[in-house]
Homo-oligomer: A and B are copies of this chain.
């Protein structure tokens, strides 16, 4: 098989220079109709496709966006990525993914690698608590899920605090006073905000916060059964659980059901596919990953087009979806 055709081949066939051929490829108007036609025909005949690598090298920028998340297999991030990829493909932009596994060190490495590759844009769910080094990033950066620290940049976040407050008000409204909080490690900004919402709502209702009602749990490999047992074994066990994280919910619900304790009200921050199929169906605070992905990608593309508006934090709306488990009364 013959080597792939290059610009030189096209130029030769069109009896012109590589530069002019390049002009045609890039839609430069300063080419005569005649020449343009010849080049276009040559492109066609040789099935010429410009080499993205060479182009990127020369331009100093790769038409690529890097997406950095905790874990690609996390359903939330998977959906976010899916939506970004969808939009990127429509624009002919390639998507590179990388996961941090929630290690700041890894985050640094992958970010560095991406920047090295001269990505044209970055969408990052950062786990780190200082992003000032990204100030010198050579491309626009949009943060998702967690807002940037020490850096003015775009971000698309969920209204964690308000979502938590809504969930809590819902439970409080159904008569609960003994409400437990289970969420991700509080070193995660998102988890912190949700926990703040939890406290605020309780405070507003005049209910004191009990330390033994607040459980931190690693969504990756926390033991749901253990947490459930610990809570239910308290002298005054909670009558409701607010799970501030989808993956925590997925770890808490099976043991709850196995123990037959569906009398405990339950609201999950974050929806999941089988929420409706459980008995009772699980009430959730819904935040759409697709929407977050779309907002982030839209923003990033605008920046990549040179739009210089001031950095902004976009708050994606949340809404409570009552299905049953959140309406159980004490």
Contacts and interface: CB of A to CB of B under 8 A. Distances in A.
Interface string A254-277: 101110000000000000111111
A28 interface: no
A41 to B, nearest CB: 21
B95 A94 contact: no
A131 interface: no
B62 A73 contact: no
Interface string A35-58: 000000000000001011110110
Contacts of A95: 96-98
A53 B78 CA distance: 27
Interface stretch (A81-89, A162-170, A230-238): A81-89
Nearest to A279: B279
A152 interface: no
For this chain, the copies found in one complex come to 2
Contact of A274 (B1, B97, B250): B250
Contacts of A250: 273-274, 277
Contacts of A96: 94-97
Contacts of A52: 116-117
A311 interface: no
Contact of A94 (B53, B72, B113): B113
Given A253-B274, A274-B254, A274-B278, A99 B73 contact: no
Contacts of A75: 73, 75, 78, 273
Most buried by B among A82, A117, A281: A82
B72 A82 contact: yes
Given A81-B97, A94-B98, A274-B275, 12 more contacts: A51-B116, A54-B57, A72-B82, A73-B78, A75-B75, A89-B98, A250-B273, A253-B277, A254-B274, A254-B277, A256-B277, A274-B274
Q: Give the 5 A-B residue pairs with the shortest CB-CB distance, closest first.
A: A73-B82, A78-B78, A274-B274, A72-B82, A254-B277
Interface of A: 1, 49, 51-54, 56-57, 62, 71-75, 78-79, 81-83, 85-86, 89, 92, 94-99, 101, 106, 110, 112-113, 116-118, 136, 250, 253-254, 256-258, 272-279, 281, 289-290
18 contacts: A73-B79, A73-B82, A73-B289, A82-B99, A89-B99, A89-B110, A94-B98, A94-B113, A95-B96, A95-B98, A96-B96, A96-B97, A250-B274, A250-B277, A253-B277, A257-B276, A272-B273, A272-B274
